[in-house]
Amino acid sequence: MRVVGGLGNAGCNIAKAFSKFPQYTTYGIDTNKEADITIKPRRTHEEYDHHFPNLKRKLKFINEEVLVITCGPGTISGGILRLLSQLENNTIRVIYVQPDLTLLSETQKMQEKVVRNVLQEYARSGILEGIYLIDNTAIERSIGDVSIAAYYEILNQAIVNTFHMINVFENSDPVIGNFITPTEISRIATVGVVNLDNAEEEENWFYDLTSVRDVVYYYGIGREDLKNDGTLFRKINDFVKSKIDDNVNISYGVFETGYEQKYCYCIKYSSMVQSYGELLDDQDIS
């Protein structure tokens, strides 16, 4: 994931938060002047879809790993498919931010549902390499109390730190691990963090994903602990084994980090469109 593009306010804020890491080139696309790429405001979702500007001159890269971030209820998210089509010669993954649905207007609810479903279908059909669903309310629960002033900033930091560390681990060799190659590609995913501080490990997922097929745990452990902590391997093994279930493949990897603190990030995959409490449509029955 070398290029990160955000569409709309939430997308731009999260893309910008990625820029603290030197590995990413980020682009925020929005209607305000402060955005990296400013586009003309439109009144409706449909107008953004029909009149989305050609940004190919600004987004000139090809064959890159691109991560696109957007939040469904926003009117500007109506342009997401046009934006994706302009990035077609890249490997594209999307982070879809689902906000608190109870606080949305009817129009926003409809827009949110359309964008969430279409993006998941794009992932299922392979146009997208994958989609990561994240739910603001779930992230908030995983963090605990969040002050109002710094609310989105704290959420966004949790999001980018988690994706960045998983990205780093996915591109490193584990010290030890059992990565299982999934039998079928599941392109709908979410991420989470395991709290290792408590006696009982606590998993905090950023989305309540259903029909899960594969779960991967990435442990980041400091060099000293890797050398000296004799109980660690058993603890990790016990935890991973406790997750085994007939329907789910469980993999893990232990990676060396330069930090003293231990980390565990996780990712889980499903091949089913997540309908979030809506009645099943045809697309959900496969």
Nearer to Mg ion, 9 or 274 (CB): 9
Among 4, 9, 194, 220, binds ligand GTP (CB under 6 A): 9
Among 15, 26, 55, 73, binds ligand GTP (CB under 6 A): 73
Residue 80 within binding range of ligand GTP, rule CB under 6 A = no
Residues contacting Mg ion: total by CB under 5 A: 1
Residue 99 within binding range of ligand GTP, rule CB under 6 A = yes
Query: What is the rounded distance in angstroms from the CA atom of residue 246 to the CA atom of residue 228?
Result: 34
Q: Using the rule CB under 6 A, give the single segment among 66-74, 227-235, 257-265, 269-277 that binds ligand GTP.
A: 66-74
Q: Using the rule CB under 6 A, give the single segment among 2-10, 196-204, 233-241, 260-268 that binds ligand GTP.
A: 2-10
Query: What is the rounded distance in angstroms from the CA atom of residue 257 to the CA atom of residue 248?
Result: 28
Residue 9 within binding range of Mg ion, rule CB under 5 A = yes
Under a CB-based contact definition with an 8 Å cutoff, are residues 39 and 29 in contact? yes
Q: How far is the CB of 282 from ligand GTP (least distance, A)?
A: 28
Residue 156 within binding range of Mg ion, rule CB under 5 A = no
Nearer to Mg ion, 99 or 182 (CB): 99
Nearer to Mg ion, 9 or 111 (CB): 9
Q: How far is the CB of 10 from Mg ion (least distance, A)?
A: 8
Query: What is the rounded distance in angstroms from the CA atom of residue 253 to the CA atom of residue 169?
Result: 8
- Binding partner selected for residue 10 from ligand GTP, Mg ion, none, CB under the kind-specific 5 to 8 Å limit: ligand GTP
Among 117, 136, 190, 270, binds ligand GTP (CB under 6 A): 136
Nearer to ligand GTP, 5 or 73 (CB): 73
- Binding partner selected for residue 26 from Mg ion, ligand GTP, none, CB under the kind-specific 5 to 8 Å limit: none
Residues contacting ligand GTP: total by CB under 6 A: 17
Query: What is the rounded distance in angstroms from the CA atom of residue 226 to the CA atom of residue 235?
Result: 13
Residue 90 within binding range of ligand GTP, rule CB under 6 A = no
Phi, psi (deg, nearest 5) at residue 191:
-125, 170
102: closest CA among 112, 89, 93, 92? 112
Residue 75 within binding range of ligand GTP, rule CB under 6 A = yes
State the number of CA atoms in the 13 A half-sphere of 270 facing the CB. Answer: 19
Query: What is the rounded distance in angstroms from the CA atom of residue 23 to the CA atom of residue 248?
Result: 32
Nearer to ligand GTP, 13 or 251 (CB): 13
The dihedral through the CA atoms of 215, 81, 274, 71 has a sign that is positive
Q: How far is the CB of 114 from Mg ion (least distance, A)?
A: 17
Under a CB-based contact definition with an 8 Å cutoff, are residues 73 and 49 in contact? no
Residue 257 within binding range of ligand GTP, rule CB under 6 A = no
Binding site for ligand GTP (CB under 6 A): 8-10, 13-14, 71, 73-77, 97, 99, 136, 152, 155-156
